[in-house]
Amino acid sequence: MLLILLIIGIAILIFFFGAAFLCYKTGLIRRDKYDRNYVPERDDDAPMSPHASEYRRRSKEYNKWWNAQDLQRLEILSEDGLRLKAGFLPADQETDRLAIVVHGHHCCAGEEGFISKMFHDEGFHVLAMDQRSHGASEGTHITMGYRESRDIKKWAELMAEKYPDCKMLLYGASMGGATVCMASELDLPEQIKCIISDCAYTSARGVFTVEMYRAYNWLPCKEFILEMCSRISELFGKFNFNDSDPERAVANAKLPMLFLHGTEDKQVPKEMGQRLYDAHPGKKEILFFEGSGHNVSFFHDEDRYRKACIEFFEGCE
């Protein structure tokens, strides 16, 4: 009887460890084998998966647009020695405006091409980078905005050095939104006038919990699995869920912030956007887009979205 109980106990431990490791591997490790990091010669004419999200379907043509531009290719070295890559698209005419655009989880610079095009059409220079462990940038581990926010600071410092007379903004969506939220408490260059965050989460632990209940509701002991996942990540990637806390960072924000969110976002519920807004101590605005899912508010009401971003920036110049 004791042997049977021991075998059952070991089987349960293996099950929970396997579930936690799967969570770690799919959520916190780069995934170049999947259609997540866009390669033009591979993906331009590839059919879209019937299971692709609305965001993936809508962003593809803009991704192609971004990669078809005459981009200046830039590179920096992160604090921990990773070579990070970005594309820079100068404005068509002389301008003193510059937008830094930050993509989301398991995506790449081009997939926020619709935002880069929006700012470019409005007369901005645009910098869009591949975040660490995404696209052309180096890295294996994703830290959900923690180390990525330090990377964004370095990109902002590079742009401030190259364009000292420009007024700049940081824009991020989804994990990119969390990244710019995390950066809001850092000492950014004085050229950065405001931050725009679309569908950002309040914490890594919070968004993983939502995803666990959304996609793996059948799993038992979800919080325990997530804690094991965090410990595995800390062991192999030197990052745990407590490191990524955009809500705490926004409470110490040093810049005005605009928060955008879709009311039907199932991946990052709108309540998270509201909590980020509530936490911000200074100049701020929040705008909800009725009926919009995750990171597609732009497509549901482009005019309102564009107007909100540009007017908020102009009010902070």
**24-77 per-position pLDDT tens digit:** 998 999 987 654 455 665 666 667 777 778 888 888 889 889 989 999 999 999
Does 219 share its domain with 91? no
Q: Evaluate whether residue 197 is within a structural domain.
A: yes
> How sure is the predictor about 15, in pLDDT bands with cuts at 50, 70 and 90?
confident
The last residue of one of the domains, among 220, 242, 264, is: 242
The DSSP output letter for 47 is: P
The last residue of one of the domains, among 193, 212, 242, is: 242
Does 231 share its domain with 87? no
Does 76 share its domain with 185? yes
Q: Greater confidence, 41 or 110?
A: 110
Does 173 share its domain with 314? yes
The DSSP output letter for 289 is: E
Q: Tell me, what's the pLDDT at 38?
A: 58
Q: Evaluate whether residue 26 is within a structural domain.
A: yes
Reported as a single tens digit per residue, the pLDDT across 94-107 is 999 999 999 999 98
What domain range is 118 assigned to? Answer: 59-203+244-317
CA dihedral 80, 168, 201, 282 (to 10 degrees): 120
In total, how many domains does the chain have? 2
- Looking only at the bridges linking them, the beta strands covering 83-89 and 72-77 are antiparallel
Does 72 share its domain with 190? yes
Does 173 share its domain with 84? yes
The DSSP output letter for 249 is: H
